[in-house]
Structure 1
Amino acid sequence: MRKLTQVLLLAGTSAMAFSAIAKDAGYIGEIDVVHGDSSADTATGKVFLDTNRNSRLDAGEAGLAGVLVSNGREVVATGEDGSYTLPAYDDMNLFITKPAGYMTPVSDDMIPQFSYVHKVAGSANLRFGGIEPTGPLPQSVNFPLVEDPVGDEFQCLVFGDTQPYSNQEVSYVRQTVGKLLTNRDNSATQCLLFQGDVMGDDLSLYPRFKQIVAKGDVPQYYVAGNHDLDFDAKSDADSFDTFRREFGPEYYSFDIGQVHFVVLDDVRYPCNGVDAHAFCDLSAKPSYNGVISERQLEWLKNDLANVPENKLIVVSAHIPFVTYTDATAQKHQVDNLDKLYDLIGDRPALGLSGHTHTTEQILPGEFYKGWEEATGTGPAKFHQIITGAVSGSWWAGDLNNSGVPHATQRLGSPRGYYVLDFAGSDYVDTFLTFEGDENDQLHVSFNTPRFRDWAEQLVSYTTQNDIPNDITPPVTVNDLGDMDMLTRADLSGTTYVAINVWNGSKESRVSFSINGGDPIEAERTQKGEGEEAFDGPTYSDPLAMAKQSTNGRQAVRSTTGGDATAGYRTWQGLQWTGVAGPFQDWMLTTKSSHLWRAELPGDLPAGVHTLEVRTTDRYGRIYKQTKTFEVVDELPQMTWQEKFWNE
């Protein structure tokens, strides 16, 4: 209880209060690679305390004992003098696990320098260059560290799928992540975790991206996603070579305080001819699959053997271990999750992932139909968070007040990021948006018969037509009228108060009161007890769908740009142009794992009413939102009343 109280206090306190543990952001450097005669099958070197901070092993600088060093398979601890010896492979990442209380050098772009990428022959003619041939193994690879007494209380920021496909979308990253990092106090923030799909296929944009994020002066740790792939790679061994060149290993670990962070690569590409799925067949188009390689599993077993049982394990991957959103989809979950569960065992653990462009809280014991078939597992073994997407629904939608697309996410959450506050091996997670403050945790709307009729027409249109197109949709957001004006017909035909708690979990409690009356408990639409996802207008989020229903940007044209600037481009240059229509059907919030609802009383008198919504999260934090709504006998004319001007 004491530790949890510490974490809650940390989460609720400004980072200014923790300036005493401010990170050392000025240690710019690199690892010490010494070339010369070397044994062809052995990697050697030292981990040392870099007292003069020049990133070189100088005479008199002491080695550090007990630091973990790996070749991506074997793991050894350095000896008393800081030395290590490991088997060498022609294609490997040689890296250390940064120990707690120390810091590695960082590049000018704040990328931690803890690894040497060794690829004797280099990459095989990749579009974005991959890795140049490294030639023979260096005589020694030495890893510098400096003391960094962070302590056991610290903070990390977690960003899902930034995924810019173009320089325009990199600018959106600047206006969201970049703006956030340059305007907040980062003194208590010890790491930034990017959960994969850092880029959207065009890997030439990495340098600009890194320069933007570096303005936060916080060390950045990256997960490789399926849009960070070298798509012209012929084998999985080469598929993340450009990522490795820019960021380092595709899997690794590091320690801060009482937390052991593990980053995994769970994207196999191409999976064709390797994994026994139809989409991986040799006759199919090259595809990826969610799976953790046997080499990684061996490394992770060796890595965890050196980690105390009471340390918190934070496991980051791109493809979710399991997901509510795509519970029945094989490639969007981890094939061999059972093996990861076996390795983690009963250790305290937290899983982080991205990929689905949704926020999802999956607590131990939670379970949805499809998981067993896709992953061979049942109820979740440890807490998992799917961390949403900075890009939201792929930077789609009209511009918000910051000049960035609203891109409301698939389960209804706005674009945002997570803050993880750690105290020892305990933690508190908080979802924050780029536009609001920490009290903005939900939105509320009314699921009325009128909305459901409207939504049926919208969904039917998206399933019957390619999106975007030039076919006028049957309904737009304008046809909903005032969503907070309820008629007698709405109340008699069942109207739900629909509350989307963006970071809600099965332990959240949600209620509302009307005009200060007794609270009415709302129920989560999904129980997480093995059922299928409940989908359709009855289970949808009205406010999210209203925002997703009318994408005006795709109808924009000009005489200056003509076809070149009509609408906007997304994904691999695909042009979204046509009428002002909805998002594609799979992007609409017709279901959600964090939606609560309860029926609105049918006997409310006509007039203006106040609705106060209250949610209590799994940590006991209370969030409230108040709105007004109207009850009328019939909807009045909602447009200009011309009748008064026709006389």
Structure 2
Amino acid sequence: MTVTIALGRAALLAATAMILPGNALADFDYVAGISATGTAEGAETVSGTVFHDLSRDGGFQADEPGVAGVMVSNGRDVVVTDADGTYELPTYENMTVMIVEPAAYDVPTDRNGVPQFFRHHLPEGTPEDLRYGGLEPTGPLPETIDFPLVRTGPTDAFSCVMMGDTQPYSNTEIGYVRDATLDSILAEDLSDAECMVMLGDVMGDDLSLLPRFMSLFSSVGLPQYYVHGNHDFDFDASTDEHSADSWRQIYGPNYYAFEIGEATFIALDNVVYPCGPQDDGPGGRDACTDPEQTVYNGRVTDRQMEWLAGILENTPEDRLIVMLHHIPFVSFIDSNTGRHQTDNLADIHEMLAGRPAVSFSGHTHTLEYLDAGEWYQGWEEQVGVTRLPFPHVVGGAPSGNWFFGDMGFDGTPLSFARGGTPPGYMMVRFDGAEFTVDFRAAGMPSDRQMGLAFNTPGFRDWFTTLMDWTETRDDEDEEAAGISGTPPVTVNDLPDTRLLTPADIDGTTWLTANVWNGGRTTEVFAQIGDGPRMPMRRSQSGEGEDVLTGAEYADPFSVPRQMTVGRYGWESTQGDPRAQGFELWQGSDFGPAKPQSAEAWMVADQSPHLWRLEMPADLPSGTHVARVTAVQPDGREWTDYIVFEMRPERPFPYWDDTLWQDAAN
């Protein structure tokens, strides 16, 4: 079958779903839908049964028993099934009737592993034309909506694959996610894995790519739980009520909950688009009241807050609450920006008080393990909180720095993110109400957990020169600013940072360790040769201070890779005009031009997981090896090494033909 460009977006979505084959590696052995019978047009309530699907066909049959104690919701109200598995809920327009998959049971999935636990109700469909189709008319309310389950047995210890923004804007970028992150996940031991969670911005504005994406990730063989993000909504929706309608049609609900083991996972949609006067406030939220702008804001809607209260009311207080959402509740990188954090976080913290809990989010493309007790300047003003009552984890991004960067070993962008983290994902392990988070750098061995480098006076001079030029380039048109399209320096001009001289030591040189998954309670030590084990100091203490930024706090491991990007210069005589330089986002051009830096805001000149050790003044001349070890509170530890030299002076860096030119030789 051939799909031509003449197809409309809605038709393209349908055609893509038809031509994509099912998963060739995984076998989802319980594929079924939701059972709905009869019609109850105009009914004020909806009812049905949650049942044990002995026939495994999704249909409710007379000999199949009901399952008691299962939460059922209409997206606002929450009830629990009776002893015979029955429930009844009030109805309203544009609701999703759904269950909370109970621990020790599975709901069916579709052929891509997307869990089937819901039925939308919007009789006439989305009331406006949307480019990705919106929600199709569901017709009258069924007389009954019955939800199938199969018994699997209790699971205490398990793991989940989690990741932040995959965010492909094109089929090319889907290939990058496939060849880096997906390949790495398939190499994992997933024998105890129970779920795969995408923490929003699954797409990059083009929802027609979603069917292909779901098909690719079905190869992992895990149920695919997706969170709705600010690049997953309908940009042409006129109200927030319908801004997730195309997502709901293609994937499923934009908020929901499920249980595994002793954990209750609660997926929120905390992206309000378009935002309005209710969202007005500091940190960029004034844009919500500007009639000339159409923007989003981070907030959990009143309906979801009512639903969340109902979920918690019916959840035992000793269960671990795992909050899943796209925009962080709070973050380090955007601590002073309101729209990129969650307005009503103080209310959510109050609702979760006394419970074991953890928050996982995406959005910022940074990896941040913000531990209980940590806080940064800006949080109180922006969202009304200070010290965190439980860990908040911002989950990095398989897309890294939005795919910006030169190609790495596997032919995918070496796209280090703003905090210096490479593209990757998390393996989160649960045991009862306890959990641990491990980060995986895509394409790297699982024990590669840090980047080691030296912050030297030469690095800081180089960084300052290039950053000044980059900021001028970004702020103004090059011609108007009077700057050249050629940067003043490139990575070729950076003095070898692993070769130190007495002048470097006198001018202050730090050994730096960017421990990507490090946090407030991580201890990091350095040992030079057979010398003593010396504690390294985290550059941010997390005690209410502002974000520290600039050359002194930059990550010298990732920054050189961010500030000279050769892809700008890719140019051909016979290639596609759009293949010159490279494209990002919605077709933005970067080149063809001289190799130069990423945009200034993308550079890792601040990080919550950078540790430093000032180099001692008594190092003898010669070759040295520094060993750096990061230790987590539960005893997990990782070690890496860096070889460096101490020399009396910096040697000439290029080919030296002096002796060749000497006639005596």
Bin of the TM-score, shorter chain as denominator length = over 0.9
Letter in 1 for 2:361: S
In the other structure, the counterpart of 1:610 is 625
Residue 283 (1) aligns with residue 291 (2): yes
Say which is worse superposed, 391-400 or 606-615, in terms of deviation: 606-615
Which of 39, 49, 56 is 1:53 aligned to?
Answer: 56
Say which is worse superposed, 635-644 or 411-420, in terms of deviation: 635-644
Which residues of structure 1 form unaligned runs of 5+? Answer: 1-22
In the other structure, the counterpart of 1:426 is 434
Letter in 2 for 1:576: F
Residue 76 (1) aligns with residue 75 (2): no
In the other structure, the counterpart of 1:33 is 36
Distance of aligned partners of 1:37 and 1:610 in 2 relative to their CA distance in 1, 3 Å threshold: closer
Deviation of 1:121 (Å): 2.2
Which of 283, 300, 307 is 1:299 aligned to?
Answer: 307
Letter in 1 for 2:653: M
Distance of 1:155 and 1:562 partners within structure 2: 44
Distance of aligned partners of 1:503 and 1:183 in 2 relative to their CA distance in 1, 3 Å threshold: closer
User: What secondary structure sits across from 1:466 in the alignment?
Assistant: helix
- Work out the percentage of aligned pairs sharing the same amino acid: 42
Does structure 2 conserve the Cα–Cα contact (< 8 Å) formed by 1:272 and 1:284?
A: no
Distance of 2:212 and 2:490 partners within structure 1: 38
Residue 130 (1) aligns with residue 134 (2): yes
Residue 594 (1) aligns with residue 594 (2): no
Distance of 1:503 and 1:641 partners within structure 2: 43
Does structure 1 conserve the Cα–Cα contact (< 8 Å) formed by 2:379 and 2:385?
A: yes
Which of 342, 363, 382 is 2:390 aligned to?
Answer: 382
Does structure 2 conserve the Cα–Cα contact (< 8 Å) formed by 1:181 and 1:215?
A: no
Residue 476 (1) aligns with residue 493 (2): no
Q: How is 1:228-627 mapped onto 2 (pairs within 5 angstroms)? A: 228-276=232-280, 277-466=285-474, 471-561=485-575, 563-577=577-591, 578-627=593-642
Q: How is 1:130-279 mapped onto 2 (pairs within 5 angstroms)? A: 130-276=134-280, 277-279=285-287
In the other structure, the counterpart of 2:20 is none
Distance of 1:625 and 1:536 partners within structure 2: 26
Does structure 2 conserve the Cα–Cα contact (< 8 Å) formed by 1:540 and 1:590?
A: yes
List per-residue Cα deviations over 1:515-571 (Å, max 9, x = no partner).
Answer: 110112111111111111111101111111111111111111000126321111110
Letter in 1 for 2:207: L
Distance of 2:364 and 2:204 partners within structure 1: 14
Does structure 1 conserve the Cα–Cα contact (< 8 Å) formed by 2:499 and 2:646?
A: yes
Letter in 1 for 2:382: A
List per-residue Cα deviations over 1:471-528 (Å, max 9, x = no partner).
Answer: 1111111111322111221011110111111011111111111111011211111111
Structure 1 consecutive aligned stretches of length 4 or more whose deviation exceeds 6 Å: 467-470
Distance of 2:523 and 2:272 partners within structure 1: 39
Does structure 1 conserve the Cα–Cα contact (< 8 Å) formed by 2:39 and 2:140?
A: no
Say which is worse superposed, 471-480 or 271-280, in terms of deviation: 271-280
Say which is worse superposed, 619-628 or 284-293, in terms of deviation: 619-628
Relative to the length of structure 1, the TM-score reads 0.94
Which residues of structure 2 form unaligned runs of 5+? Answer: 1-25, 479-483
User: What secondary structure sits across from 2:546 in the alignment?
Assistant: coil
Distance of 1:143 and 1:159 partners within structure 2: 29
Distance of 1:284 and 1:345 partners within structure 2: 40
Letter in 1 for 2:112: D
List per-residue Cα deviations over 1:549-596 (Å, max 9, x = no partner).
Answer: 111111110001263211111101101112211111111111111011
User: What secondary structure sits across from 1:543 in the alignment?
Assistant: coil
Distance of 2:661 and 2:92 partners within structure 1: 86
Deviation of 1:183 (Å): 3.4
Between the two proteins, the alignment pairs up a number of residues equal to 625
User: What secondary structure sits across from 2:505 in the alignment?
Assistant: helix
Letter in 2 for 1:221: Y
User: What secondary structure sits across from 2:634 in the alignment?
Assistant: coil
Letter in 2 for 1:582: S
Relative to the length of structure 2, the TM-score reads 0.92
User: What secondary structure sits across from 1:542 in the alignment?
Assistant: coil
User: What secondary structure sits across from 1:397 in the alignment?
Assistant: coil
Deviation of 1:346 (Å): 1.2
